[in-house]
Amino acid sequence: MSSVPGGPAGAPVLEVDDLAVTFARRGEQATRAVDGVSFAVGASETVGLVGESGCGKSVTSLAIMGLLPRRGVTVSGSVRLEGQELIGASDSRLRTLRGAHMAMVFQDPLSSLNPTVQIGTQVTEVLLEHRDMSKSEAATEAADLLDRVGIPDPSRRLKEYPHQLSGGMRQRALIAMALACSPRLLIADEPTTALDVTIQAQILELLRELVVDTGTALVMITHDLGVVAGLCDRVHVMYSGKIIETADRHELFARPRQPYTGGLLASVPRLDAGRGTPLTPIRGSARDAIPWAEGCAFAPRCDNAQDDCLTEVSGSVVPLEYDGPGRELRCRHPLEHPPAPSGATAAGAAR
C-alpha cells in the first residue's frame, strides 16, 4: 500500500503505514479496530480523519501517540514522526516525544483537565518536562501561551482551576498545553464536539491560525463535515477500521465517489437545497457493518451494493486503489459523476 505523497513542505512530518490495532479481551474474540491505515501529513498541512463513532479514527490517533493501553492491545504497522519509528519505541522514548514533538487535544475539555490542579501548573509542567526552564521562566511562558490562544487576563487564569473556566476557555487552555513546546505534529480529536456552536468556530479559527503561523502538521479527527470543509486540506474517510476514500477537500465535496461519503454529504442539511427537500439519511447504523474479510463493510447499508460487494471473489478485501490524481477509493461500484465538474453539487451527486 502506498502512502499519499507528502505535503507542500517536502518530507512529511507524520507517515502512517499499514497501521493496525487489535483489541483482545480474555474470553472474547479479538476485534480489529484499525486495519491497514496509511496516510501522511506534511508541515503546515491539515489532514482530516472522518467517520462515524466507532470507525477507528480515535483509536488511530491514540495509536500514533502511543497512548493505547499495553495490555490486550496489539499495534502493528509503522508510524514515523519526522522519520523516526514510533511503533515499538520504548515508553521513555515516547514520553520525550509526546508533548514536545507531537501533542494532542482531546474532545471533552472539562474531563481532560485535572480538576484539582491549577491551570498554571498544568501548563508549566509540560514546559518543565521538555524544555530547560526555571519555574519562573515557565510561568512567564505559560502566561504567554494562554495569551496566544486568546485567553484574556492570563496571569489570573493561571491560578484558577478548570471548573472556574468556561468550556471554550478550557479548550483554549488545552490547546495552549499542546502547543507549549511547538510540536511538529498536533492531533485534535473532535476538539469542538463538546462546545457550543459559536465557540466551535472560534476554536477552529484558532487551530487554523496556529497551523499557518507555526507550520505544524495537524491531524483533525472529526465526524463533522463542517469542520472538514473549513479546515482540512486533505480528507481520509474511515469506515469500520479502514480508509475507504481519500481526496482533497474540494474534490471530496464536489465529487464523492464512495457511496458512504456521498451518504454523509447528503445527510447534512443544506441552506441551498430547496425548501421541503428531505434529508437523505444513511440506512442503519455503524453496528450493521460486516467484517472486511466477507466483503465491503458498508455493503449492508449501501444503495449501490451489488452481489460482488458481499461475496469476496478474489479472496482478498476490497482494495484501496488509485482513483485519479490525489484520490484513492475502496469501492467496486462507486458513484459516477458527469464529466463537467461545475454543475455538480454533493447532494445532487449522491443520488
Partner 1 sequence: MLRFIVRRLLQLIPILLGLSILLFAWLRALPGGPAQAALGERATPEAIARYNELFGLDEPLIVQYLRFLGRAVRLDFGTSARTGRPVTTEFLERMPGTIELTIFAMIFAIGVGIPLGYLAARKHGSWLDSASVIGSLLGVAIPVFFLAYLLRLVFAVELGWLPGSGRQDVRIDATRITNFYVLDGLLTREWDAAWDAVLHLILPAIALGTIPLAIIVRITRASVLDVVNEDYVRTANAKGLATSTVRRRHIIRNALLPVSTTIGLQTGLLLSGAVLTESVFSFGGVGSALYDAIFARDFAVLQGFILMLAVVYVLVNLLVDISYGLLDPRVRVR
Binding site for partner 1 (CB under 8 A): 65, 67, 91, 94-100, 103-104, 106, 108, 111-117, 121, 125-126, 129-130, 161, 163-164, 174, 177-178
Contacts of 200 (CB under 8 A, 6+ apart): 192, 227
Least Cβ distance, residue 344 to partner 1 (angstroms):
41
Least Cβ distance, residue 251 to partner 1 (angstroms):
32
C-beta closer to partner 1: residue 186 or 297: 186
* DSSP-assigned letters across all residues of 98-131: BTTTEEEE-S-TTTTS-TTS-HHHHHHHHHHHHS
Query: What is the C-alpha to C-alpha distance for residues 187 and 106, in angstroms, rounded to an integer?
Result: 8
Return the half-sphere exposure (C-beta side, CA atoms, 13 A cut-off) of residue 157.
25
Is residue 241 a contact partner of residue 292, using CB atoms and an 8 Å limit?
Answer: yes
Q: State the alpha helices, DSSP H only, in the chain.
A: 57-65, 91-97, 119-130, 135-148, 154-158, 167-179, 197-214, 225-231, 249-254, 259-266, 307-310, 346-350
C-beta closer to partner 1: residue 166 or 306: 166
Query: What is the C-alpha to C-alpha distance for residues 265 and 246, in angstroms, rounded to an integer?
Result: 15
C-beta closer to partner 1: residue 207 or 244: 207
What are the strands of the beta sheet with 31-41, ordered from one edge? 31-41, 14-23, 73-81, 84-85
C-beta closer to partner 1: residue 130 or 330: 130
Least Cβ distance, residue 253 to partner 1 (angstroms):
31
- The gap from C-alpha 174 to its chain's centroid, in whole angstroms, comes to 17
For residue 279 the three cell numbers come to 434529508
C-beta closer to partner 1: residue 117 or 293: 117
Is residue 40 a contact partner of residue 49, using CB atoms and an 8 Å limit?
Answer: no
Least Cβ distance, residue 44 to partner 1 (angstroms):
22
C-beta closer to partner 1: residue 175 or 235: 175
Least Cβ distance, residue 198 to partner 1 (angstroms):
24
Least Cβ distance, residue 126 to partner 1 (angstroms):
5
Least Cβ distance, residue 151 to partner 1 (angstroms):
17
C-beta closer to partner 1: residue 189 or 224: 189
Least Cβ distance, residue 96 to partner 1 (angstroms):
6
C-beta closer to partner 1: residue 135 or 163: 163
